[in-house]
Amino acid sequence: MSTDSSRTRHALSVLVENNPGVLARVSVLFARRNFNIDHLVVGPTEDSKVSRMTIVVNVSSEQLHRVTSQLDKLVEVIHIEELDDPEAIRSSLWAINDHGPRPVGAMAAAAF
C-alpha cells in the first residue's frame, strides 16, 4: 500500500465522446478506487462530438497507471494524456471555454 508521501499531483487531459453519462462513469471509476479528484474541468472541443476533461488527482505513480489503464477501457474515452508542464496544465484549464475561462477552470488553473 502506498503512503501519502509517495503521492504527487498529476493532471490528465482526457478526450471523451460527448455523450450523456460519460462524466458520471469517469467520476465513479475514480470513486471506486478511493481516489479523490482535486480538480475537474469539462468542456467542449472544436468537434461537437468530443469533450475534454482535465482531471487533477493526488496519487502515486502506480495508482495513476492503474486508473489511466481503467479509464482507457471505457468505451467513450478517446485519448488520455498526462500533462507534465504546469504551463500546459494552466493553458488546458483556461482554454476549456471558447468565450474565456469558466470560474471553475480559473480556480483549477490557479492551483498550478
Residue 75, domain CATH: 3.30.70.260
The span from the CA of 62 to the CA of 2, in Å, is: 9
Predicted confidence at residue 99, as pLDDT, reads 47
* Residues in Cβ contact with 14 at an 8 Å cutoff, skipping those fewer than 6 apart: 26, 52, 53, 54, 55, 71, 77, 79, 80, 81
- Report how far apart, in Å, the C-alpha atoms of 77 and of each of 28, 45, 61, 70, 84 are: 14, 14, 21, 10, 20
Summarised one tens digit per residue, pLDDT across range 87-103 is: 666 666 655 554 444 54
Domain boundaries, position 23: 4-110
Please state, rounded to an integer, the average pLDDT across all residues of the chain: 80
Amino acid occupying residue 108: A
Total of domains in the chain: 1
Tell me the longest C-alpha to C-alpha distance in the chain. 44
Summarised one tens digit per residue, pLDDT across range 1-51 is: 444 558 788 889 999 999 999 999 999 999 998 989 988 888 888 899 999
Predicted confidence at residue 25, as pLDDT, reads 94
Report the share of the chain in percent with pLDDT over 70: 71
Predicted confidence at residue 90, as pLDDT, reads 64
Q: How many helices (H) and strands (E) does the chain have?
A: 4, 4
